[in-house]
Amino acid sequence: MSRYYSGPPSDHFDGERFFGPKRSGGKGMLPLLKWQLLGTRAKWPRWIENAPQPPPPERVSGDTIRLTMIGHVSVLIQTAGLNILTDPVWADRASPFQVAGPKRVRAPGVALDALPPIDLVLVSHNHYDHLDTATLAELVRRFDPEIVTPLGNGTIIRKSAAARIVELDWDEKVAHGPLVIEAEPVNHWSARWSNDRNEALWAGMTIHAPNRRIFFNGDSGYAEGWWVDRLMAKHGTIDVSLCPIGAYAPRWFMADAHMDPDEAVQVYKGMGGPMTLGFHWGVFQLTDEPIDEPRERLTAALSREGIDPARFRTLSPGESWEL
């Protein structure tokens, strides 16, 4: 019995755990120990100061989309007069512990005190670098946003915050003002501990704005692009994509769950070339690659494919991109 969700079995839930059509992690303790003991982890800097950036505006109206990088997968999306945060993590560590686990090497690009009013929060799944209960509790205290998340994650969030939460299954939708948020399958997995694997659902999310369609992919392996094909068959077009490019090494261990920059470019092509923000890199050292390698490999992959780098960008913490 799942400790987070109770519901009928489906084509991706067996009554206890969620699953997808392709392998998405779950290699077990022995491969994890092999990686930890035999891996060749690059040395990251202990701290990097962020360059000063202008603060985000209070609101952005109409069809304009403004993306402000907070850090890792946390992005402020401003459009249609609404302010949306994706996977907000202001914690010092992506870990259940305060004194151990991946420690941030850059401050959040916008301090909590400097945020504009937050209307909506999207939480893609329950890994600690995506679901930070302390940050969510503070956002609820300050702004009382609606939180949209896949099935089961509300149970985790409610333990820390009396939040307004909407839980979605894959392909379910919820309206929020002029927007509609739709949960989408991606190739990933979930866990907060060693014994609760896949007891809560994971998802990407499509933000249907009045005249634009934004896809937020919190985390996914490429997995031959099955989820990209499914997304495009359903929607036809994606105008703006937020796509992970980091935490991919070693490939023998990470390929099921995290795409690398070359695969991210294949996702871009499979989506028909939307304006894309590459994130999920450069803040928490989760895997073995050097800190700047994801950005460097993305630049090389775009060049090889003849893709304008202005269409697939990375942003420094605090930096904004207006579309």
- Count of domains in the chain? 1
Residue 47 belongs to some domain of the structure: no
**Residue percentage of the chain with pLDDT more than 70:** 96
CATH number at residue 134: 3.60.15.10
Residue 48 belongs to some domain of the structure: no
Amino acid identity of residue 135, one-letter, is T
Residue 35 belongs to some domain of the structure: no
Q: Which domain holds residue 295?
A: 55-322
pLDDT tens digits for 127-151?
999 999 999 999 999 999 999 999 9
Residue 44 belongs to some domain of the structure: no
pLDDT at 98: 82
pLDDT tens digits for 34-50?
767 666 899 999 999 99
pLDDT at 162: 94
Q: Please report, to the nearest 10 degrees, the dihedral formed by the alpha carbons of residues 97, 103, 109, 111 taken in order.
A: 40
C-alpha to C-alpha distance for 141 and 306, rounded to whole angstroms: 47
pLDDT at 285: 97
The two tokens of residue 47 are 């701290």
3 state SS of 322: strand
Residue 295 belongs to some domain of the structure: yes
Q: Which residues of the chain have pLDDT under 50?
A: none
